[in-house]
Amino acid sequence: MELPDALSLPRPLILVGTRPEIVKMAPIVRLLSEAKKDFLFVHTGQHYDYHMSKQFLEELRLPKPDIGFPVRARSPDEQLALLIRRIGAILRSERISIVLVEGDTNSVLAGALASNKLGIPIGHIEAGLRSYDLRMPEEHNRRIVDHLSAYLFAPTKVSKLNLKKEAVWGKIYVTGNTVIDACVQHMRYAERRSRIAKSVPFRNFALATIHRAENVDDPKVLKEFVDAFTESPIEIVLPLHPRTNKQLKRHGLWKKLVRSRNVEILPPVGYFDFLVLMKRCSLILTDSGGVVEEATAPSIRKKVVILRISTERPEAVESGFARVAGCNKRAILRGIAWAEEKEAGLPAKSPFGSGHSAQRIVEVMTREGAL
């Protein structure tokens, strides 16, 4: 891995590693690029599959990362150790004013730990989310990062309250979530570019995504999902995460799913295709937190059945956009029935912001002298 020569003036480092991080950082990267601000763009390669990462960089027309390195499939502890070592090497070779991270992945945790040990301030976008489900590695990651961060960009007042209760030492700013910015900025372009509609044989369908380790690595839970999808009263379009694909075949569930006339399986789709699927579907079933947020964007506004026993986005539930269904077939089918009810309308506004979150974050960093 080649590292650029150190610059005379400190500059921010923007760290991404997975598809959601790329999407949510895109509005900030774009703002800084348009303003001719100097920054170091680093991609850890945590999502090393093309469809899970590089494709999103290209579709979003983001600059090529200044530094990137593949992590490949490793055990979580080995992956974290490697990420800390490699991010630390970059930080020691550069003059960095702030390390900006987003979310709760191993890349985010590694970036925060390396920065903390080297005395470099951390800015955490999407700070303060809590599911209180300690089975989730992300719950551990986000808590640690919040307590290491100098600047905490909380998407909502609920997130800010979580941080206040935990007495974090950093400065807290309620900014909204940049995922709404991304949806607002990209939907029209996505509709012009995407051809995904040709792959969907259904006029009325539910969009489903499942990928979380605590779900798809558990054969009992995975079977409940398959049973629910194949028995759903509305047809299902299912873009398959590589992890889910592997586990379905491993546990003998693949044939039932692929033979079902009720389910259309798609390979992993790009960001623009996914935006179009969200807009065209009737409802969404997902165990992804980010998808729950995207569903509330003004250009999408869909009900979401959350395929988990908890959520770190309670604002979506409280506003009427989402319902936590759990992971068994009967509960999921009840959730689908709720989502298909026509009587209950959806709020006009997203609880996660109006599409100006990136601007607020950049303004804070400018005031704090990090830009």
Active site residues: 211
Q: Which residues, including other chains, have CB under 8 Å from residue 136's CB and lie 6 or more apart?
A: 212, 214
Single out the residue of 192, 197, 238, 186 nearest to residue 216, CA to CA.
238
In 3-state terms, what secondary structure has residue 226?
helix
| Residue 194: how many other CB atoms lie within 10 Å | 21
Burial class (CB in 10 A: 0-12, 13-18, 19+), 195: exposed
| Residue 58: how many other CB atoms lie within 10 Å | 13
d(CA 164, CA 292): 24
173, 125 in Cβ contact below 8 A? no
Single out the residue of 197, 349, 208 nearest to residue 291, CA to CA.
208
In 3-state terms, what secondary structure has residue 139?
helix
DSSP 8-state code for residue 156: S
